[in-house]
Amino acid sequence: MPNYYYKGQFRQHPETHNRRGLVHTIRRILLAPRSLKYLGGGFLVLWFYVLVRVTFFTPSPYDLEPELEKRLQRARSSKKNPTWPDKNPTALRPVLLDPLPSQNASREWPPNLDDMLCRPKIYVYPDPPAIQAIYATVPPMNTPYIAERILLEQLRDPSSSAHQSYVTLNPEEADFFYIPFLGARYLNHCWFTLGEKGDCGVDERYVLPMMKSIQQEFPYWNRTNGRDHLMTHPMDRASHYYQSRSIFENATFLTTVGDLRRIGSSVVGARRYQNIVVPSATALLDLVQVDPSKYLTSSGHPRQKRRDVFLVFGGRYRDVEPEDVYSAGIRSLLYKGFDQQPDYSDKYMKLLSRARYGLAPMAHTLSTTRLWEYIAFGVVPVIIADGIQEAFEDDVDWRSFSVRIRRKDAHRMDVILRSIPEEEYQQKREILWEVGRRVLLSRDAWHLIVRDLCRRARLEGKRTLRRDVHEPLTAQDMTIA
Ligand SMILES: *[C@@H]1O[C@H](CO)[C@@H](O)[C@H](O)[C@H]1NC(C)=O
Ligand SMILES: *[C@@H]1O[C@H](CO)[C@@H](O)[C@H](O)[C@H]1NC(C)=O
Ligand SMILES: *[C@@H]1O[C@H](CO)[C@@H](O)[C@H](O)[C@H]1NC(C)=O
C-alpha cells in the first residue's frame, strides 16, 4: 500500500488521494459483474414504469376535470355499494322537478297560428278566354288531385276567410299574384276520361296559352320575373308533366309533395326553397265529403265505441317486395306479419273513428293522401318516409302529433308503437285534434301558406296598403278572419 498514510508517516495530498480513490471505487463497482446485473435490472424497472405510465396515465383531450372524474368514479362505484345513495338521494336515480314557467309567447315554438305574421294582398288572375274555351270541353274531374281547384276556389269565394283576409281585386296593390293554373284537371281528363297514354298536348293547348296571357297581357310577371307569382302543382311529379315548364319555373309552387332527398321520385327536392308544401286533397274528405263529426265528438272521441283498433292502414301492399323502389319496400312488411295482428285493420272507412294509429308509409312519393284522412279523424299518423317534408313545418310541430319511424326500424314498428305510454298517446291525439287538423285544406291551409309567404317576402309585422307601402300590423289585423 504505497499511497496509504499510516500513523503520520507517508501522506499524499488529500484531494488527489480522494479523487483517485473515488474514480477507482466507481470503476471497480461499475466493472464488477454483479453491479452490471443490478444496473440492468434497474433499467428494466425504469423502462417498465415509463411504459405503464405512458400507456395508462397519459392525459387525453377527453379527460374531465379531476374533481368531476372523481364524482363520476364515485357514482359508478355507488352501484356496487348499496349504502351510498343514502348519502345522496339523487345518485343515478331520476330527479323529479317542477316544470319551468311558461315564457313570453313571442319566444315560443310552435307559434300561435292565430297571430298573423303579415297581411299581404293576393291578386288572382282571371281565366284567359282561350283557357275558358278549353274548360268547356274539359270538365272538372273527381280525383285526389283537386287541391289546385280547392285552393283556387277558396281565393275566389267571397265568403271564404282566405278571400276576405287576403284577396284584392286591384293588382296594383297586390304583393302576390295567383295563377289559376289547373294542369291536373287537364291531364286527369286526358288520362282517365279519354284514356290517353300521352299528355293530350297539354303544353301547346293549355300551359302556353295560359302563361302567354299572364306574361304578355299583364305587366306584373315581368316586374319581378315571376318571383311573386304562385301556382299549385298537386300531383306526384309536380311541374314535371310539362315540357314547357321553364316559362313558369320562377314562380313559387304550392306542391303536395315535400322531399328532402337528393334524388327523390317526386323530383321536387331541387326546388325545396322555392316550393311551399301544402296538404293534398283526398277522395274521402274532398270528393265523398265524409263528415268526421258524424263519427266523432267535439273532442275527437268516437261517438259510440272506444278507440280499440290499434292501427289502420288503407293502402296497397300485397304485391310489394322488400327490394321494390315503390315505398322503398316498406309496405312489404305488412303482409309479412303485421297484418296478422288482430288489432291491425285494413277495413278502412268505418274504422277510422275507432283507430288509435294510422299507418302512412311512403308510396311512389314520400307522402300518402291517407295521412290527411287520419288527421281529419283524429287518428295519430305513423309516418315511415325518410326525408319527408310535411306541410308548414315552420309553423306546425309535426312531432307532437305524429310518430315517425325510420325505414331501418320499420320492421320493429309494432314494438315501437306498443311501447308508447298511454299518456303520451293521449297527448299526441289531443294536439292532433287541436292543432294538426288546422293544416287540412278545408281548414287553415291558406293562412299557413300566407305565413310562409310573409317570411319569404320579409313582410313580417306588415300590413299592405299599396304595393311597396306596408303599414305595421295593428291589433285588429293580428288574428285570422
Ligand atoms: C313579450 O315580448 C314582447 C315583444 O318583445 C313584449 O312587447 C311584451 O311586453 C313581452 N311580454 C311579457 C309578458 O313580457
Ligand atoms: C315580358 O317580357 C317578355 C320577354 O321579354 C315579352 O315578350 C313580353 O311582351 C313582356 N310583357 C310585357 C307585358 O311587357
Ligand atoms: C326567370 O328569372 C331569370 C333571372 O332571375 C330571368 O333571366 C328569366 O327570364 C326568368 N324567366 C321568366 C320566364 O321570366
Which pLDDT tens digit goes with each residue over 124-138? 999 999 999 999 999
Atom 10 of ligand 2: nearest residue by CA position: 216
Please check whether residue 134 is in contact with residue 186, taking contact to mean a CB–CB distance below 8 angstroms: yes
Judge contact between 460 and 99, C-beta under 8 A. Answer: no
Distance from Cα 220 to the centre of ligand 2, integer Å: 10
Is the Cβ atom of 103 under 6 angstroms away from ligand 1?
A: no
CA of 107 to the centre of ligand 1 (A): 9
State the Cα angle at 114 between 366 and 438, rounded to 5°. 35
Q: What is the pLDDT of residue 312?
A: 85
pLDDT of residue 436 exceeding 90: yes
**Contact predicate 233/277, CB 8 Å:** no
Handedness of CA 20, 21, 26, 32 (dihedral sign): positive
In the chain, domain spans: 1-44, 122-281+444-478, 292-439
Q: How confident is the model at residue 264 (pLDDT cuts 50, 70, 90)?
A: low
Query: For residue 106, how far is its CA from the centre of ligand 1 (angstroms)?
Result: 7
| Nearest ligand 3 atom to alpha carbon 246 | 13
DSSP single-letter state for residue 373: H
Percent of the chain with pLDDT over 90: 56
- H helix or E strand, kind and range, residue 231: strand 229-233
Three-state secondary structure call for residue 255:
strand
- Cα(213)–Cα(75) distance, integer angstroms: 75
- pLDDT value, residue 1: 44
Q: With respect to CATH, is domain 292-439 assigned 3.40.1000?
A: no
Q: What is the residue with the minimal CA distance to atom 8 of ligand 1? A: 104
Nearest CA to ligand 3 atom 7: 225
Q: How many whole angstroms separate alpha carbon 401 and alpha carbon 355? A: 15
- pLDDT of 425-435, one tens digit each? 999 999 999 99
Tell me the one-letter amino acid at 419: S
Residue 134 neighbours by CB under 8 Å, 6+ apart: 186, 205, 206, 209
Q: Whose CA is nearest to atom 2 of ligand 3?
A: 225
Q: How confident is the model at residue 23 (pLDDT cuts 50, 70, 90)?
A: confident
Q: What is the CA radius of gyration of the chain?
A: 38
Q: Which residue has the higher pLDDT, 423 or 340?
A: 423
For 85-108, the DSSP string reads GGT-TTTTSPPP-PPPPP--GGG-
